[in-house]
């Protein structure tokens, strides 16, 4: 899929530019549609990633709680 290839190319570019060790995939919706296509494409390119357990919450206090749970 063109959109997946473009997303992975953008992720690779940003990784090279900023230098993080891995990507955190966050489902944008509860349906997780497209999520597996991106994770499969990242794995195919040997790009390290972790999957967030749930969608990104709104508000800074909830975001901090989410980040601690996701990254730990």
Rounded to a whole number of angstroms, the distance between the first and last alpha carbons of the chain is 32
Residues whose CB is less than 8 angstroms from the CB of residue 64 and which lie 6 or more positions away in sequence, other chains included = none
Query: Who wins on pLDDT, 3 or 28?
Result: 3
> What's the pTM value of the predicted model, to 2 decimals?
0.69
The model's pLDDT over 17-64, given as tens digits with 9 standing for 90+, comes to 999 888 888 776 555 566 788 889 999 999 999 887 777 767 677 777
CA dist., res. 47 & res. 12, Å (int)? 8
- So what's the pLDDT on residue 72? 62
- So what's the pLDDT on residue 41? 93
């Amino acid at each position: 899929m063109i959109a997946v290839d473009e997303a992975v190319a953008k992720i690779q570019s940003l990784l090279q530019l900023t230098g993080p060790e891995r990507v955190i995939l966050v489902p944008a919706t509860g349906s997780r549609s497209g999520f597996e296509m991106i994770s499969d494409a990242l794995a195919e390119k040997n790009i390290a990633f972790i999957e967030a357990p749930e969608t990104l919450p709104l508000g800074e206090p909830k975001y901090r709680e989410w980040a601690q749970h996701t990254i730990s």
